[in-house]
Structure 1
């Protein structure tokens, strides 16, 4: 349901031009005219902005945007990108982009004909379009003035007023929404207290918000998605119309009733299809077994494609179409599964959700359409089942990190109901490695690693290792996990329906970190057990999100080269905090001439509140310090040097 929402990444924003001809040349756009107080922490400055969104009917509106933004340096280059995503309900009107140098001197102009245009989605059926241009910059600062309009012929979502963007200061900005009084609109301040100026004029009512001389808002790594991170005014209609479908967004219940009318009649299967599925599940003893049988069949026989057709990407194609083609998008595959379950008398519901990492879901008290995905919900008391019908790899009844920990609008016969999706659990995201390394006296070695993974780690390995070419596999293991550069790599997958289980055979020229005289220094693992660090902040302002909570464990066994002995083993440590725990042990098995390094790390929650940030960062900093310890071995002065050993397989 990848909705083609209108947005201009350039956020080449716009501003109040009251009393002016509101053309860029009416303003002095020289960069040295920017107040020094606004340059601090900024990579760009919004010089002026004026946005006017006028609704003329339930399904008709025009959105006019005029702005100028000065980009101070290359770190602000993202604001040189102008782009628009549209479909048959949203069309880009005239575009006029003017570029100025540091002194405010006009350089070049771009119009519609200069925009690159292409269809979006995977394209079997697709009515979406992307138009964009990356404004060039020979030197900084530059100023980009943008004047354009968007024409709406179908309204489900109103544009919101985003007046704060990462590291952008604002000199002057305004947003006006004009709507018929009979329908009005709803608005919600997000991280701001600014109030609108409200005026009535005949049949219309207008709301105007203004911002002046606002300092740049710093971006914080790991925070909630950008649309919810920064101050904004969210707007939403009460009544709307898309194609011939009129709806009411004043409550989640009414929104669900509208969506139910949109999908009505799309869940009908032909008699041969019904008979096929009844035969498929004839040996299933329970409804749960029937659902699982169908889900696994679909994983093996259907595939996902992006189809942006039908009521702005909201209406699924008929179940019979999906059956014939053996493909569909998220709404099509979920609707098809719903149709199959209906033939068994099993009730299920489409669930509309925002598939986005670092997102807590929607506000129960402010219905707004910010969704981009559809999954399936099968109610069964405490054992209710959530199905991600686009995935060929997720286990039955499991969601991934992008749809956990939030709420979805479950579409029932009585309307929409906000229902919480399952919470992420550390026990569902396990990464376990056991490695045996046979070292030689030069510091090279042959390694056999067994890697077992569930949840997030399983999906990541299936995508980046299982079906990749050898060079791509090496690049991922080195780039993501921090494995040492390898000369040879042989991967042997072990069949397992529940976990990703594989053996890696590696020949590594330089296992040791470095050598000094007769001593060799070894990291506790052949890869980076912890491959991230939390960013430093004077005072964290926003929640910090890990991708998932997790459990990681590693056992690394170093078989010493002939003629080598231990010089020093690190001291193992065990410590914990409210959000996690860490443990390490080091030991030597004399009969095997082997060192055992055993480590475990658990993070029991993925969302860290600002008040927990410092202690959590201190915990992971301590983990990194422990992981930086080195095992030291040395040549036994009483033993002659061994002959060199060939490496490889």
Structure 2
């Protein structure tokens, strides 16, 4: 009797689970309040990260989204990035009509494989992508992926609400930490009703239910500024084939310097001598730096290179000198090497480069940033150099890396510093016009414009 009762309960559970999942495939079962201001609804999105050890993890994702109209089509996100360190073990997609009936199924062979080089000259980043054109709205798309990687420096972030004009019926984020690798967690805006933190000592676990869509309005901030998000970073990790440790910024900076920067600044003696002759007779280190910066601008050009650990490690300074191009890491390291050859202190600095101000999160230790600039301490009056531009004046960083926290990497360790902020007086555009009108109505005009700061 007990066995029959157990089996009956188990079968009932399976039936209820299947019924519940089928409900998510039909657009007719979406709660009314989740349709308000929404172009698409996340019916369910479950992410499970298995951290086997500090150097191995598996990520599984199942995402069910109902697209209500053509404005929501771009949100189906039917793609996954990979590289030689990430193995896509499984990927599939299924399309359901408004009533929840299956109308199309896609297997791995149906996804197109593209280079994800973007603006890079060469890159080993790739993307598997599905280009689906619906025959009608609304429809539901189920997207499942599984990846395995031995590079654990970056954990997928959790966004229970994914964008403006999107709502979420159900979402979960779970990290199973088999060997109790120390993990740092940071939450943003996770005070919304419907979001729960169910974590324990062996796993990180968040759930979200019935989160309404946020409507974009004129002058709304970027979604990342207001959206709930959970960030996770391991204190011990592997970046491609380099083991790392990140308990505090000082230790992380030392690791970065010792494993990614040291030995990358060697220059041919001829180059050192040429630079010495270039600044000969000049005593002021800032004036020397200006001349060297101009030398780099005249000699090099920016080309992105993203290969393996090279996506985070700069090219050798000697190679940049030889080929006269490089990405932000390479050109910053090259400029730093030239300055150091003339005993001018300069530090490699990691930043989020964007016209939308974004800080390196000072209380969240780990791999951050998307760009590199150069810091010259200058006796407490720091100068910041953008080394990828052939036109930007010395020390000019406005509209891309100004007024934000960055990670400055020194041989002694890392530290958070704030880049220069431009005042309203420094941001100007002044135009003086002299117009001469003749008796026939014709005219001649002379216009002189001066600009500075963000208007330069």
One fold, TM greater than 0.5? yes
1:88-122 deviations in Å (ceiling 9; x for gaps) = 33343321111222222222233333325124144
Is it true that 1:99 corresponds to 2:100 in the alignment? Answer: no
TM-score of the pair, normalised by structure 2: 0.88
Task: Give the secondary-structure state (helix, strand or coil) at the position aligned to 1:175.
Answer: strand
Q: Aligned pair in 2 of structure 1 residues 448, 100: CA closer, same or farther (>3 Å)?
A: farther
Counterparts of residues 309-324 of structure 1 (less than 5 Å): 309-311=307-309, 313-324=311-322
Q: Aligned pair in 2 of structure 1 residues 418, 22: CA closer, same or farther (>3 Å)?
A: farther
Counterparts of residues 490-639 of structure 1 (less than 5 Å): none
Structure 2 stretches of 5 or more lacking a match?
1-12
1:466-503 deviations in Å (ceiling 9; x for gaps) = xxxxxxxxxxxxxxxxxxxxxxxxxxxxxxxxxxxxxx
Counterpart pick for 1:47 among 43, 46, 49:
43
Task: Give the secondary-structure state (helix, strand or coil) at the position aligned to 2:38.
Answer: coil
Task: Give the secondary-structure state (helix, strand or coil) at the position aligned to 1:260.
Answer: helix
Match of 1:240 in 2: 237
Match of 2:146 in 1: 149
Structure 1 stretches of 5 or more lacking a match?
1-16, 459-649
Match of 2:54 in 1: 58
Counterpart pick for 1:388 among 362, 377, 386:
386
The CA distance in 1 between the partners of 2:360 and 2:173, in whole Å, is: 24
Structure 1 stretch displaced more, 187-196 or 260-269: 187-196
| Deviation at residue 296 of structure 1 after TM alignment | 0.7
Match of 1:456 in 2: 454
Is it true that 1:69 corresponds to 2:88 in the alignment? Answer: no
Is it true that 1:428 corresponds to 2:426 in the alignment? Answer: yes
Match of 1:501 in 2: none
Counterpart pick for 1:373 among 349, 359, 371:
371
| Deviation at residue 87 of structure 1 after TM alignment | 2.6
| Deviation at residue 217 of structure 1 after TM alignment | 2.4
TM-score of the pair, normalised by structure 1: 0.63
Structure 1 stretch displaced more, 358-367 or 18-27: 18-27
Match of 1:278 in 2: 276
Q: Aligned pair in 2 of structure 1 residues 442, 241: CA closer, same or farther (>3 Å)?
A: farther
The CA distance in 2 between the partners of 1:112 and 1:435, in whole Å, is: 64
Indicate the RMSD between aligned Cα atoms, in angstroms.
2.8
| Deviation at residue 312 of structure 1 after TM alignment | 5.6
Task: Give the secondary-structure state (helix, strand or coil) at the position aligned to 1:161.
Answer: coil
Counterparts of residues 435-450 of structure 1 (less than 5 Å): 435=433, 449-450=447-448
Match of 2:34 in 1: 38
The CA distance in 2 between the partners of 1:208 and 1:45, in whole Å, is: 22
Match of 1:198 in 2: 199
| Deviation at residue 145 of structure 1 after TM alignment | 0.9
Task: Give the secondary-structure state (helix, strand or coil) at the position aligned to 1:418.
Answer: strand
| Deviation at residue 343 of structure 1 after TM alignment | 1.1
1:405-437 deviations in Å (ceiling 9; x for gaps) = 111100012211000001122333322334566
Q: Which has the higher relative contact order, 1 or 2, with Cα contacts under 8 A spaced 6 or more apart?
A: 2
Match of 2:3 in 1: none
1:333-382 deviations in Å (ceiling 9; x for gaps) = 11011111111111211001111222341332222423111111011223
Q: Aligned pair in 2 of structure 1 residues 51, 173: CA closer, same or farther (>3 Å)?
A: same
Task: Give the secondary-structure state (helix, strand or coil) at the position aligned to 1:125.
Answer: strand
Task: Give the secondary-structure state (helix, strand or coil) at the position aligned to 2:379.
Answer: coil
The CA distance in 2 between the partners of 1:435 and 1:22, in whole Å, is: 74
| Deviation at residue 244 of structure 1 after TM alignment | 3.5
